[in-house]
Protein backbone atom coordinates (compact mmCIF):
# COMPACT_ATOMS: atom_id res chain seq x y z
CA UNK A 1 0.00 0.00 0.00
CA UNK A 2 1.29 3.40 -1.02
CA UNK A 3 0.33 6.73 0.52
CA UNK A 4 -0.46 8.23 -2.88
CA UNK A 5 -3.13 5.54 -3.31
CA UNK A 6 -4.97 6.98 -0.29
CA UNK A 7 -5.05 10.49 -1.74
CA UNK A 8 -6.69 12.14 -4.72
CA UNK A 9 -6.87 15.75 -5.88
CA UNK A 10 -10.14 16.33 -4.01
CA UNK A 11 -8.63 15.22 -0.69
CA UNK A 12 -5.81 17.77 -0.86
CA UNK A 13 -6.19 21.33 0.43
CA UNK A 14 -3.48 23.60 -0.92
CA UNK A 15 -4.24 26.43 1.48
CA UNK A 16 -5.77 25.55 4.83
CA UNK A 17 -7.79 28.33 6.44
CA UNK A 18 -7.31 27.11 10.03
CA UNK A 19 -5.05 28.85 12.52
CA UNK A 20 -5.25 26.44 15.49
CA UNK A 21 -4.83 22.71 15.89
CA UNK A 22 -8.50 22.17 16.79
CA UNK A 23 -9.59 24.20 13.75
CA UNK A 24 -7.30 22.25 11.42
CA UNK A 25 -8.55 18.93 12.77
CA UNK A 26 -12.11 20.05 11.95
CA UNK A 27 -11.05 21.29 8.52
CA UNK A 28 -9.27 18.03 7.70
CA UNK A 29 -12.26 15.95 8.83
CA UNK A 30 -14.46 18.21 6.67
CA UNK A 31 -12.30 17.29 3.67
CA UNK A 32 -12.74 13.58 4.41
CA UNK A 33 -16.49 14.10 4.80
CA UNK A 34 -16.85 16.19 1.64
CA UNK A 35 -15.02 13.57 -0.40
CA UNK A 36 -17.20 10.75 0.94
CA UNK A 37 -14.34 8.92 2.63
CA UNK A 38 -16.03 8.70 6.04
CA UNK A 39 -19.46 7.57 7.22
CA UNK A 40 -19.87 9.74 10.32
CA UNK A 41 -18.18 13.13 10.50
CA UNK A 42 -18.92 13.66 14.20
CA UNK A 43 -17.53 10.25 15.18
CA UNK A 44 -14.32 10.85 13.22
CA UNK A 45 -13.85 14.32 14.67
CA UNK A 46 -14.35 13.00 18.21
CA UNK A 47 -11.91 10.13 17.61
CA UNK A 48 -9.20 12.36 16.15
CA UNK A 49 -9.63 14.96 18.93
CA UNK A 50 -9.53 12.23 21.59
CA UNK A 51 -6.37 10.79 20.05
CA UNK A 52 -4.75 14.22 19.95
CA UNK A 53 -5.49 14.76 23.66
CA UNK A 54 -3.59 11.56 24.51
CA UNK A 55 -0.44 12.74 22.77
CA UNK A 56 0.30 15.29 20.09
CA UNK A 57 0.66 14.08 16.53
CA UNK A 58 3.07 16.87 15.63
CA UNK A 59 6.14 14.91 14.59
CA UNK A 60 8.46 17.84 13.93
CA UNK A 61 10.07 19.28 10.82
CA UNK A 62 6.86 21.15 10.01
CA UNK A 63 4.67 18.04 9.88
CA UNK A 64 1.49 17.04 11.70
CA UNK A 65 -0.03 13.59 11.29
CA UNK A 66 -3.35 13.51 13.14
CA UNK A 67 -4.72 9.97 13.09
CA UNK A 68 -7.28 7.78 14.77
CA UNK A 69 -9.17 4.51 14.59
CA UNK A 70 -12.93 4.44 14.33
CA UNK A 71 -15.86 2.41 13.05
CA UNK A 72 -16.80 5.38 10.84
CA UNK A 73 -14.64 4.07 7.97
CA UNK A 74 -14.51 0.82 6.01
CA UNK A 75 -10.83 1.16 5.14
CA UNK A 76 -7.86 3.42 5.78
CA UNK A 77 -8.51 6.92 4.41
CA UNK A 78 -6.39 10.06 4.22
CA UNK A 79 -6.29 13.72 3.32
CA UNK A 80 -3.49 16.26 3.08
CA UNK A 81 -3.55 19.95 3.88
CA UNK A 82 -0.93 22.67 3.47
CA UNK A 83 -0.76 25.60 5.88
CA UNK A 84 1.39 28.45 4.63
CA UNK A 85 1.33 30.17 8.04
CA UNK A 86 1.89 27.00 10.03
CA UNK A 87 -0.11 25.53 12.91
CA UNK A 88 1.15 24.83 16.41
CA UNK A 89 0.98 21.05 16.81
CA UNK A 90 3.12 21.00 19.97
CA UNK A 91 5.81 19.16 18.03
CA UNK A 92 8.99 18.09 19.85
CA UNK A 93 11.01 20.68 17.90
CA UNK A 94 8.44 23.46 18.62
CA UNK A 95 8.19 24.16 14.87
CA UNK A 96 4.73 24.86 13.41
CA UNK A 97 3.23 22.26 11.09
CA UNK A 98 2.89 23.25 7.44
CA UNK A 99 2.07 19.79 6.07
CA UNK A 100 -0.90 18.09 7.74
CA UNK A 101 -1.68 14.48 6.83
CA UNK A 102 -4.77 12.97 8.44
CA UNK A 103 -5.19 9.20 8.57
CA UNK A 104 -8.39 7.49 9.72
CA UNK A 105 -8.32 3.73 10.12
CA UNK A 106 -10.75 0.96 10.90
CA UNK A 107 -10.92 0.12 14.57
CA UNK A 108 -10.09 -3.57 14.23
CA UNK A 109 -7.58 -3.49 11.36
CA UNK A 110 -4.43 -1.71 12.60
CA UNK A 111 -2.01 -3.09 9.99
CA UNK A 112 -2.59 -0.58 7.17
CA UNK A 113 -2.67 2.29 9.68
CA UNK A 114 0.69 1.35 11.19
CA UNK A 115 2.27 0.84 7.75
CA UNK A 116 0.95 4.21 6.51
CA UNK A 117 2.33 6.01 9.58
CA UNK A 118 5.71 4.37 9.03
CA UNK A 119 5.74 5.31 5.33
CA UNK A 120 4.78 8.90 6.16
CA UNK A 121 7.52 9.17 8.76
CA UNK A 122 10.11 7.83 6.34
CA UNK A 123 8.95 9.97 3.41
CA UNK A 124 8.71 13.18 5.41
CA UNK A 125 12.01 12.73 7.22
CA UNK A 126 13.59 13.94 3.96
CA UNK A 127 13.89 17.75 3.88
CA UNK A 128 13.97 17.78 0.06
CA UNK A 129 10.61 16.00 -0.03
CA UNK A 130 9.08 18.39 2.50
CA UNK A 131 10.40 21.40 0.59
CA UNK A 132 9.11 20.03 -2.72
CA UNK A 133 5.66 19.42 -1.24
CA UNK A 134 5.54 22.95 0.16
CA UNK A 135 6.62 24.39 -3.19
CA UNK A 136 3.93 22.50 -5.13
CA UNK A 137 1.28 24.71 -6.70
CA UNK A 138 -1.51 22.20 -7.36
CA UNK A 139 -2.93 19.00 -5.84
CA UNK A 140 -1.84 17.13 -8.97
CA UNK A 141 1.74 18.28 -8.46
CA UNK A 142 1.64 17.22 -4.78
CA UNK A 143 0.40 13.76 -5.76
CA UNK A 144 3.12 13.44 -8.40
CA UNK A 145 5.83 14.33 -5.88
CA UNK A 146 4.49 11.89 -3.30
CA UNK A 147 4.21 9.10 -5.88
CA UNK A 148 7.70 9.64 -7.28
CA UNK A 149 9.39 9.96 -3.89
CA UNK A 150 7.44 7.15 -2.29
CA UNK A 151 8.41 4.71 -5.04
CA UNK A 152 12.07 5.51 -4.23
CA UNK A 153 11.61 4.28 -0.63
pLDDT tens by residue, 52-94? 999 999 999 999 999 999 999 999 999 999 999 999 999 999 9
> Which class in CATH covers the domain with range 3-152?
alpha beta
pTM of the model: 0.95
**What is the pLDDT averaged over residues 91-106?**
97
Per-state percent for the chain, helix, strand, coil, to nearest 5 = 45, 20, 30
Mean pLDDT, rounded, of the chain: 96
Active site residues: 67
Confidence of residue 153 (pLDDT cuts 50, 70, 90): confident
Please check the confidence at residue 35 and state whether its pLDDT lies above 90: yes
Q: What is the pLDDT of residue 110?
A: 83
Q: Residue 27: left if φ>0, alpha if ψ -120 to 50, beta else—which one? A: alpha
Q: Where are the domains of the chain?
A: 3-152
Amino acid sequence: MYLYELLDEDSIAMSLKSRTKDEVLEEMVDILDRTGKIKNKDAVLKAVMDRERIMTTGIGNGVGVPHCKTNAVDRLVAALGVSREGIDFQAPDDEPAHLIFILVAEHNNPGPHVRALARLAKLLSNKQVRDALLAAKTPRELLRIIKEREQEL
